[in-house]
Amino acid sequence: MKYDIKNINLAKKGSLRIEWASNNMPVLNLIKQRFAKEKPLKGLKIAACLHVTTETGVLGSVLKAGGAQVFIAASNPLSTQDDVAAALVKDSKISVFAIKGEDTKTYYKHIKAVLAASPDITMDDGADLVSTIHSGPASAHSNIIGGTEETTTGVIRLRALAKAGKLRYPIVAVNDALTKHLFDNRYGTGQSTIDGIIRATNKLLAGSNFVVCGYGWCGKGAGLRADGLGAKVIVVEVDPLRALEASMDGFRVMPIKEAARIGDIFVTVTGDINVIRKEHFKIMQDGAIVCNSGHFNVELDIAGLKKLSIRKKIIRDFVEEYILKDGRKLYLLGEGRLINLAAAEGHPASVMDMSFANQALCAEYMAKNYKRLKNQVYKVPEDIDSKIASLKLRSLGIKIDTLTKEQKKYLSSWEMGT
Ligand code: ADE
């Protein structure tokens, strides 16, 4: 079995941590039991490009229980948990190609290594796997029947590929399931972003000006949780509707050029490039902290920051101190990569339970339905989404009501009014 990881001797620690995550992933465990009986993925090779975390470890074991052969590359150079990579190789016999801190060349070498397995299904987080496939000749991976995509950024890239008429196989946008983005993007990113900032800096958030750039579901989560810790949240947006939402959620809204002057901590979660630029670093307060929790490290103009600086040093793990020509110091966290996975452990297992339940069930859906699907980006079927919500509720011991006959009739009629 081929693999490329940091150190196989870390496996024991990794397997205990995967066990801990699994204890908080009841929905995925139910799917695993069924998969073990029905083997819906029998004979299929799945190439995954995912953050190598304890939660991904649990997903890997579910796919294997379903009969698949699994190959995993990291979906970010800084997000790999090396002990998990070791446990997956040693205990689960999953081919993992991922080392925390790998350079860009190694990152793509690892992506190519999972593709060398000639996969039938791709499972992506950010669409680097799919974009690597589509940068090569169409003949190269013609046996792929379909894929899934985990995140907003990846879905945007795939829709662009499909719109250009170039997508070579059907892909399900897991991100767009309600049981994914309403929970993972909001509560997952919300908590893990704050977790990453605190683990990296040990700063007190209470009373600080906390600037959130982007008020999508991830930005909403980060704002909500920073607010909960007593920070004074400022939102930067380009979309009028989202800006209005932020304002009515109780936050100050202003352009980045104003926020830059007063922010103590800045987080970008927009999915776009160069959101905080040189001209903004120029006017920031001495001691300001800047980080990103969006998928790619493109949201901060780090080259611009470097140009303003005379030197930099690593002052703590995941904290780089940039000393500017005028003597001010600015702090960049996690090299501008997603801070929640670079300095913390990503989203907690109980929220990844739903995201990865979607991944497992959509892989099964693809295996069963690929023949009738076109080369398009598909929504997660509604029955999968609502099944996951019901299972999650049941696992939480939460019961809900059902409509009475009279209520159902009322909702399907038009006659009854004032
Ligand atoms: N994305 C965000 N958090 C994650 C986690 N814990 N595991 C895998 N992917 C993630």
Q: How far is the CA of 346 from the centre of ligand 1 (A)?
A: 5
In the prediction, which pLDDT does 206 show? 98
Whether residue 218 sits in one domain with residue 102: no
Structure tokens at 192: 């893990």
In a domain, 410, yes or no: no
Confidence band of 139 (pLDDT split at 50, 70, 90):
confident
Of the candidates 353, 243, 337, 320, the residue with the CA atom closest to the CA atom of residue 21:
353
Structure tokens at 251: 């936050």
Are 176 and 191 members of one domain?
no
Q: How large is the average pLDDT for residues 64-82?
A: 97
Helical spans, DSSP H, in 92-239: 104-115, 128-135, 152-163, 178-180, 189-201, 217-228
111-133 tens-digit pLDDT:
999 999 999 999 999 999 999 99
What integer pLDDT is reported at residue 280 of this predicted model? 98
pLDDT, tens only, 256-270? 999 999 999 999 999
Summarised one tens digit per residue, pLDDT across range 258-311 is 999 999 999 999 999 999 999 999 999 999 999 999 999 999 999 999 999 999
334 and 358 fall within a common domain: no
What pLDDT is attached to residue 335?
Answer: 96
Q: What is the CATH number of the domain that holds 152?
A: 3.40.50.1480
Best probe residue, ligand 1, of 20, 56, 183 (max atoms within 8 Å of C-beta): 56
For the stretch 192-231, pLDDT in tens is 999 999 999 999 999 999 999 999 999 999 999 999 999 9
**Stretch 404-408: mean pLDDT:** 97
pLDDT digit string (tens) for 360-378? 999 999 999 999 999 999 9
Residue 108 tokens, joined: 């793509």
Ligand 1 atom, smallest distance to 349 CA:
6
**Boundary residue ending a domain (277, 311, 342):** 342
Q: What would the mean pLDDT of 389-401 be, rounded to a whole number?
A: 97
Beta-carbon contacts of 327 under 8 Å, excluding residues fewer than 6 positions away, are 286
Q: Residue 345 CA: which ligand 1 atom is closest?
A: 6
Residue nearest atom 9 in ligand 1 by C-alpha distance: 51
Stretch 229-251: mean pLDDT: 98
What are the Cα distances from residue 351, in Å, to 19, 29, 35, 184, 346? 16, 14, 21, 6, 10
One domain, residues 123 and 236: no
328 and 357 together in one domain: no
In tens, the pLDDT along 328-339 reads: 999 999 999 999
Bridge-based pairing state of the strands 329-333 and 289-292: parallel
- With respect to residue 218, please indicate whether it lies within any of the assigned structural domains: yes
Task: Judge whether 405 lies within some domain.
Answer: no
Distances (CA, A) of 159 to 130, 176, 300, 327: 12, 12, 24, 45
For residue 347, how far is its CA from the centre of ligand 1 (angstroms)? 5
Q: Is residue 256 part of a domain?
A: yes
161 and 279 together in one domain: no
Task: Tell me the average pLDDT across 158-171.
Answer: 97
CA-to-CA dists, residue 82 to 57, 79, 317, 417, angstroms: 12, 9, 16, 62
Using DSSP's 3-state secondary structure scheme, residue 62 falls into: helix
Residues 162 and 71 in one domain: yes
Q: Are 39 and 32 in contact (CB under 8 A)?
A: no
Cα angle, residue 318 at apex, residues 312 and 324 outer, rounded to 5°:
25
Please give the Cα distance from 239 to 184 (Å, whole number): 22
* Domain presence at residue 97: yes
Residue 304 resides in a domain? yes
Q: Are residues 322 and 369 in the same domain?
A: no
Domain co-membership, 124 together with 238: no
In-domain check, residue 413: no
Q: Which residues contact 314 (CB under 8 A, 6 or more apart)?
A: 320, 321
- Residue to mutate (ligand 1; options 175, 195, 341; most atoms within 8 A of CB): 341
Q: Which pLDDT score is estimated for 53? A: 98
Q: Is residue 138 part of a domain?
A: yes
176 with 86, same domain: the answer is: yes
The CATH number assigned to the domain holding 271 equals 3.40.50.720
Judging by DSSP bridges, how do beta strands 377-379 and 146-149 pair with one another? unpaired
In this structure, the answer to whether residues 85 and 172 fall within a common structural domain is: yes
Per-residue pLDDT, 239: 98
The dihedral through the CA atoms of 183, 187, 192, 193 has a sign that is positive
Q: Between the CA of residue 216 and those of 270, 325, 343, 354, 376, what are the distances in Å?
A: 7, 35, 22, 19, 24
Do 170 and 26 lie in one domain? The reply is yes
Per the structure, the count of domains in the chain is: 2
Sign for the CA dihedral angle at 313, 272, 363, 117 comes to: negative
> For residue 38, what are the domain limits?
8-180+348-395
Instruction: Show which of 304, 321, 342 is a domain's final residue.
Output: 342
Q: What is the pLDDT of residues 167-183, one digit of tens each?
A: 999 999 999 999 999 99
Angle at 293 between CA 56 and CA 8, to 5 degrees: 35
